[in-house]
């Protein structure tokens, strides 16, 4: 199987078989049947893409209620550290996080199910980030957690003084004071 199970159940890394030669490469980035066989039954309805420079950190974001989202994320160019935090109260892994290096070179993808806050930081000079969502975005349903919350103690793999945040992400909630996942 092209999937790697993570320490936190439900998170999965998709490691596709890449066919390369002197012309370039080809790989199947998504096949519903293969994903369903791995237990990922999300029906994706929206694709998003961002471009960011070194040190940009986007997150930690999630949606609640009827607009909760699962995401399948990957990098088209560059390198990022991608992070998912379990925010499902009552979960045995509540407050734990998992990280994975995603790059254009390794072609890996990270499946982040509903009930997880998500974020990434750009480790290369620039990165183009792409993700599929299984639900539509709703501003009224968004939640945010501070990327550097000491309760989470996430190792972002860059000095925190080099992190570049949006104005919105500078005022995210502390873990435990964040909007509850419903």
Q: Any catalytic annotation for residue 94?
A: no
User: 138 with 72: CB under 8 angstroms?
Assistant: no
Q: Which of 36, 61, 161, 178 is catalytic?
A: 61
Q: What is the largest CA-CA distance in the chain?
A: 53
Cross-strand bridge partners of residue 103: 79
User: 83 with 122: CB under 8 angstroms?
Assistant: no
Q: Any catalytic annotation for residue 131?
A: yes
Q: How many CB atoms lie within 10 A of CB 77?
A: 15
Alpha carbon distances (Å) from 65 to 39, 89, 117, 158: 22, 14, 14, 33
Q: Which of 36, 54, 94, 131 is catalytic?
A: 131
Cross-strand bridge partners of residue 62: 143
Q: β-strands 3-5, 12-14: how paired?
A: antiparallel
**Catalytic residue list:** 61, 131
């Amino acid at each position: 199987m092209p999937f790697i199970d993570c320490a936190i159940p439900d998170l999965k890394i998709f490691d596709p078989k890449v066919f390369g030669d002197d012309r370039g490469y080809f790989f199947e980035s998504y096949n519903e049947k293969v994903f369903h066989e791995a237990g990922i039954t999300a029906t994706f309805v929206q694709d998003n893409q961002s471009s960011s420079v070194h040190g940009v950190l986007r997150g930690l974001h999630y949606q609640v209620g009827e607009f909760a989202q699962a995401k399948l994320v990957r990098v088209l160019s560059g390198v990022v550290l991608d992070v998912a935090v379990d925010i499902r109260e009552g979960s045995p892994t509540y407050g734990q996080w998992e990280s994975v290096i995603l790059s254009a070179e390794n072609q890996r993808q990270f499946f982040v199910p509903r009930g997880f806050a998500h974020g990434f930081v750009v480790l290369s000079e620039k990165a183009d980030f792409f993700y599929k969502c299984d639900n539509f975005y709703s501003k009224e349903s968004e939640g945010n957690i501070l990327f550097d919350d000491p309760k989470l103690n996430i190792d972002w793999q860059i000095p925190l003084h080099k992190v570049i945040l949006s104005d919105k992400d500078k005022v995210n909630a502390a873990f435990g004071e964040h909007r509850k996942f419903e």
